């Protein structure tokens, strides 16, 4: 279990990484976070952190949306994260959670002039959905929060109320996950993952202008599909009805990694199993994450090497 955290400038026991109940972010959701994965490779006897620089770049962009003044550079956060993981001594897959928060009282709504602080901790974890195929999905009655309301490109704490409402709606109605449409009625993303589908051998995913998080796994899969699998990839709007015509469909993201979708709104996707494109992408991604694809070793930060 987690024993340590990087908290307010130093690595401390996790029990000491605390905030007050008067904390501004606790009351108003005015923080941001990142989700980063480390993957253990028995073959290499190494823990590889996937695209850490990209994650921290997005983290700092999210902080900028909130007028947060982060006292650390991306390089400093990466260095602290590697040291934290090394001290924890993980030899299994882990999830890493950096969070920036405003350490102020409750009697202010504005964002600027706050005391901005950062904490990072890690925890062993499996997949967000708990399984990677036969996922039952519905289209949520909740719409994806619009970029003109809360920055969709940022991992803003408060915006995840939108995801929570849709996720509970899906689960209480017997599904595993939900797809949210944007305000224009086009497919945006899942509650905590990006969406992709396959039609006639073409990999299709909504554009980043569809009010979705600019997913790092999403970006990686697009590159891998083009460079290694010679697939055509389209980033374009997807209508709800087109979901029902997909040959394959999948979710991707740091938490979920990759998960094949079996049905959408009680309509079977393909043969209701993991299709050939999804399987090929998943196997390729797994090799990348565990250091077995030499062309993409620059995406990995080894903890112990």
| Structure confidence by residue, pLDDT tens digits, 205-245 | 999 999 999 999 999 999 999 999 999 999 999 999 999 99
Q: What is the pLDDT of residue 134?
A: 81
Q: What is the pLDDT of residue 107?
A: 84
Q: What is the pLDDT of residue 273?
A: 83
Q: How far apart are CA 6 and CA 122, in angstroms?
A: 10
Q: What is the pLDDT of residue 130?
A: 55
Residues of the chain with pLDDT under 50: none
Choose the catalytic residue: 102, 117, 155, 167: 155
Q: What is the pLDDT of residue 125?
A: 87
> Which domains does the chain show, CATH number per domain?
4-124 (3.30.470.10), 135-289 (3.20.10.10)
Q: What is the pLDDT of residue 105?
A: 83
pTM score: 0.95
> What is residue 12's three-state secondary structure?
strand
Active-site annotation holds for 155: yes
């Amino acid at each position: 279990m987690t024993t340590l955290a990087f908290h307010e400038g130093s690595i401390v026991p996790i029990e000491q990484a605390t905030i007050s109940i008067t904390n501004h972010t606790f009351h108003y959701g005015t923080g941001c976070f990142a989700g980063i994965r480390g993957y253990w490779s028995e073959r290499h006897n190494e823990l590889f952190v996937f695209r850490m620089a990209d994650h921290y770049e997005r983290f700092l962009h999210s902080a900028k949306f909130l007028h947060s003044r982060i006292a650390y550079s991306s390089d400093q956060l990466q260095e602290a994260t590697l040291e934290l993981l090394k001290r924890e001594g993980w030899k299994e897959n882990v999830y890493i959670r950096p969070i920036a928060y405003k350490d102020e009282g409750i009697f202010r709504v504005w964002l600027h002039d706050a005391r901005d602080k950062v904490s990072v901790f890690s925890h062993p974890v499996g997949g967000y959905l708990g399984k990677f195929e036969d996922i039952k999905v519905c289209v949520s009655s909740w719409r994806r929060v619009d970029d003109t309301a809360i920055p969709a490109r940022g991992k803003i704490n408060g915006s995840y109320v939108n995801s929570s409402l849709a996720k509970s709606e899906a689960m209480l109605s017997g599904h595993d996950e939900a797809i949210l449409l944007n305000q224009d009625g086009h497919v945006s993303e899942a509650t905590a993952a990006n969406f992709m589908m396959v039609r006639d051998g073409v990999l299709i995913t909504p554009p980043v202008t569809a009010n979705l998080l600019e997913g790092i796994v999403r970006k990686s899969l697009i590159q891998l599909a083009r460079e290694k699998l010679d697939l055509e990839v389209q980033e374009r709007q997807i209508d709800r009805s087109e979901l029902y015509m997909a040959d394959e469909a999948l979710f991707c993201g740091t938490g979920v990694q990759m998960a094949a979708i079996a049905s959408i709104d009680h309509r079977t996707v393909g043969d209701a199993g993991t299709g050939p494109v999804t399987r090929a992408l998943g196997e390729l991604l797994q090799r990348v994450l565990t250091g077995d694809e030499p062309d993409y070793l620059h995406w990995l930060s080894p903890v112990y090497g």
